[in-house]
Amino acid sequence: MPEPLFGKNLDELKAISKELGLPAFTGKQISEWIYQKEISGFEEMTNLSKKARELLSSRYSLGLQEPVDVQESVDGTKKYLFTGTSGKFIETAFIPDRERATVCVSSQVGCKMGCLFCMTGKQGFQGNLSAGEILNQYRSIPEWRKLTNIVYMGMGEPLDNLGEVLKSLEIFTSPWGFALSPRRITVSTIGITPAMLQFLENSEAHLAISLHTPFDEERRKLMPVQQVYPLQEVLSEIRSWDFGRQRRVSFEYIVFKELNDSASHVNELSRILQGIKCRINLIRFHPIPGTPLESPDEKIILDFKDRLNAKGITTTIRASRGQDIWAACGLLSTKKLMNKE
């Protein structure tokens, strides 16, 4: 199969041009064609010589891949499925919300992290996505021109695939790439401290950390990562990092029935987040097969939010979207995998 150009950064495109004996500026021209215009073949790169187009098409493909399946929720949320180079299913969610339109991209197929509440974790790890496969989830959905925000909250732990995630962020935000503001992009992590520091140094995108409980023992049960990179260590790095005026750190908190919504959770959250300018997003847990965890009542979540706000922690509730189409991370691809087997 010819190598895809989509997903290469400017240095790589320049190196390819040089290797093919093309003028130095050809790399920049190619990046503009693949990231800023809508073309379906090399023949449409009209400011390149005929020879350049022929050389490129003899060795490379453009590399865009259409989704293979889509399901639409009654609330307008769509779940797209792509097949990666390995033939495994990649899930991408499109979430329209008044003036915002967000795409939620995956960074891996499956995941190694084994969080108790997550269907993707239950699939096990099947592979990292390349920068091109991450970017393609943005560029190849029909709504891509309408998108206002990108979140790395789909399948996988983005910081466990740091190199390709950073490369995709470079292409999203560079003037020669999609030229998007990093303030429109949020990368979510369960808190892999060394990779998180590298991400903070090498990108301007917002950071979201999956917290889920402030207590060590409880977090260990929910998220095995706590044994290696304890939340306390993650928070101490966050506390000393200068986020500037516009960069945001937020915390994701899935609320489980009778597990992590007590008064002691409120007090401990308030204690450990002291001195960090942040926001907590509460997410209602939606049951998945094979876990004892249950979903709380709406009233409990509202109450928890009010108590956190009363403690001075800005807290919001993330609306549940697309429940009728299995929109929670990992559910649709698992269903698809089961049907395939």
Indicate the residue among 21 and 114 with the shorter CB distance to ligand SF4: 114
Indicate the residue among 57 and 281 with the shorter CB distance to ligand SF4: 281
Indicate the residue among 208 and 329 with the shorter CB distance to ligand SF4: 329
Q: Is 185 in the site for ligand SF4 (CB under 6 A)?
A: no
Pick the piece of the chain touching ligand SF4 (CB under 6 A) from 37-45, 154-162, 258-266, 308-316.
154-162
Catalytic-residue membership of 329: yes
Indicate the residue among 225 and 273 with the shorter CB distance to ligand SF4: 225
Going by C-alpha positions, the residue among 94, 87, 102 that lies closest to residue 70 is: 94
Q: Is 111 in the site for ligand SF4 (CB under 6 A)?
A: yes
Catalytic residue among 3, 19, 91, 104: 91
Residue from 17, 65, 102, 120 touching ligand SF4 (CB under 6 A): that is 120
Pick the piece of the chain touching ligand SF4 (CB under 6 A) from 107-115, 141-149, 229-237, 295-303.
107-115
Residue from 156, 177, 214, 296 touching ligand SF4 (CB under 6 A): that is 156
Per-residue CA distances from 54 to 58, 216, 254, 298 (Å): 6, 59, 52, 60
Residue from 113, 209, 222, 266 touching ligand SF4 (CB under 6 A): that is 113
Q: Is 22 in the site for ligand SF4 (CB under 6 A)?
A: no
Catalytic-residue membership of 91: yes
Q: Is 151 in the site for ligand SF4 (CB under 6 A)?
A: no
Q: Is 207 in the site for ligand SF4 (CB under 6 A)?
A: no
Pick the piece of the chain touching ligand SF4 (CB under 6 A) from 7-15, 19-27, 149-157, 259-267.
149-157
In DSSP terms, 253 is beta-bridged to: 282
The distance of closest approach from Cβ of residue 331 to ligand SF4 in the complex, given in angstroms and rounded to an integer, is: 11
In DSSP terms, 280 is beta-bridged to: 251, 315
* Distance from chain centroid for Cα 190: 12
The distance of closest approach from Cβ of residue 196 to ligand SF4 in the complex, given in angstroms and rounded to an integer, is: 13
Indicate the residue among 113 and 166 with the shorter CB distance to ligand SF4: 113
Residue from 91, 133, 157, 261 touching ligand SF4 (CB under 6 A): that is 157
Indicate the residue among 114 and 142 with the shorter CB distance to ligand SF4: 114
The distance of closest approach from Cβ of residue 114 to ligand SF4 in the complex, given in angstroms and rounded to an integer, is: 6
Binding-site ranges for ligand SF4 (CB under 6 A)? 111, 113-115, 118, 120-121, 155-157, 190, 329
Residues forming the active site: 91, 329
